[in-house]
Structure 1
Amino acid sequence: MNDERLDVISLPKDVRPHNESNIEWWYFFAHLKGDMGGRYAVMTSFFRVGELEIGKGHYIIHTLIDLNRKKRFNFSGIDWKLKMGMLAIYLPFHLLRHPTDYRMWRLYKCLLKGDIPSPHAFIKNTSIIENPTVLNYGTNKLTFKGENEEAFDVFLKERDSEVQLEFTPLKPVGLIGGDGKPDDLYYYSFTRNKVKGRIKTDNGTETVKGQGWFDHQWGRDYSLAKGSGWNWFGVQLSDGRDLLLNEMTSGKPDSSMANIVEKDGTIRFTRDITFKKIKYWKSLKTNGRYPVEWQISIPEFAIELHVEAVFPNQEMPILGPIKGIWEGACRAEGIEILPSGKRKGLEGIGFMELVGYA
């Protein structure tokens, strides 16, 4: 990491939880191939939420996608501290703003009775250990390793699936936006990792390998409580570069961004990006209408990109006012105009995250 950036983000210090933040998450995805012909996509996010250190709650969302069968295994769970935070702060705040949201009134009453609606679950024995950092969320664990805690092992065990993976970064840490604080949250990534391990589903157990992505964000932010949403794209190009693209849907000016992570890890950053929705998919569960096909233009980088879902139904249920998000595997192709004027074809795979549509 460049010395001039050490005052913003440094590892392993910033791998660890930040008590001054009210929201923080450690996120990864991976595209994997199995030794018996299976193709999988995996995503998990470990959240830490709370206004005060003593009351920090924990929330996990996880999906395992069998790409051959177009089948998903979804899981989300909260601990008792997050339940208390939802009852005391976050749901009352939402209901004051939206008093006719009867679905959230039902959730509030359900949590008051000590229940949680399916397919969510309560998770026990949550903890975060430091030196090295270990996230324990029930039966799910993320263990960082190495001098700077850049690599990690993950173990995810749910009723219908089991995932055991090892992530090893192939590029230096990337400070998103160029300095690691493009907007209200601190943000660093390892956008390309070698991944290997094992996946077990109802179809059997396979040894897998492929490539993955890791993000860590933290700060003080109330976008979700206010009902704001975003469109996020993490794309790993076949030429060794990676794209991190984001658009806030609140209409806040200068909130869109494009980051190109070069093969050597250096980042080019711009706010000059345009997102155009091409095709939608509507969920029968939440009535959310998600844009699952996009045309994205980044003039400063002379890139035109077409991004679409690998398959449409990749919605994930979320506990709280946003109800559901679209979080799933996508593919990309496009054109880059080189300085010489030559047109270069682009293609890649990644994940797309659409929040605020349900």
Structure 2
Amino acid sequence: MSGIAVNHLSMRYKVPVREAGLQAALGSLFRRRYREVQAVQDISFSIEPGELVGFIGPNGAGKTTTLKMLSGILHPSGGTVRVQGFTPWSREVPFLRSIALIRGSQPIGGPTELTVLDSLRFQQTIYDVSVLDFQKNLAELTELLDLEQLLGRQVRALSLGERMRCGLALSLIYRPRVLFLDEPTLGLDVMAVGMMRRFIASYCRRTGATVLLTSHYMVDVETLCNRIILIDKGIIKYDGDLNGLTARLSPTKLLRVTISDSHNHDWQSYGELVELNGATAVLRLPREQVPGLTARLLAELEVSDLSVEEPPLESVIDQIYREGVL
């Protein structure tokens, strides 16, 4: 059985509308007008247990609304969802103990007078985690998040980065089997972003958790996910592997070649020159021409290094958002 199974899921809601001005504001107190918003439109997909899938799209595409339905916060207008065999909006206790919705880099909450360990033990009580499981999970999270020196400190004494790490531990101390990660690296500095990516990858390897990750940072998706689901205006536009999306949308590849001699070369005769840095040139050329040009370069130049690269995912996704090519 799939970890997550979504069939013909839809979400519509009404939002109030009125014109600007005091008269319109007074009138809206007695007679409100609404317009209907179709946030999610008949989407279907499944995620196998242990998969880590990127769920991407522009602002307003329906990503967060979908995560809220999958985690049981919102009741959909239509369709069905099964997560770990449960219907999310039924909010059954075993379901709530099996998932975590982490929105942004949420810091540890609760009374700031408590120590980090006290906060984690309180979470243990709420989620009815056995002493043995709590100790095992705490040891694992302490190692992954480097919490050893923080457990005895009061929450109010923590820096923002420390609060973020402890917040992660608080969300995962009951070892959820499904993680919904909504922009987990948003607003973090470079060091914290790297830590977050490493943690997500390590946690998934160790626990076999099923993960649906949204992010506007394509490096997050490239680093962590082999599969992506792209949603736009509430409709799934693509569901597949990263290389498949790039090949579908970009007719070109990048050829990075480094030569061992110091002579100037007419790189334009080989293809479109994208970048030249000393003895290293980057050429853009049609995919079908890569094998022939590679052989030509090796025959005509003293090549010390050569690699073929896909265009950056960032540029491919930007093309989708701007041109709506899918």
Give the TM-score normalised by the residue count of structure 1.
0.26
Q: Which has the higher contact order (CA 8 A, sep 6+)?
A: 2
More helix by share: 2
More strand by share: 1
Give the TM-score normalised by the residue count of structure 2.
0.28
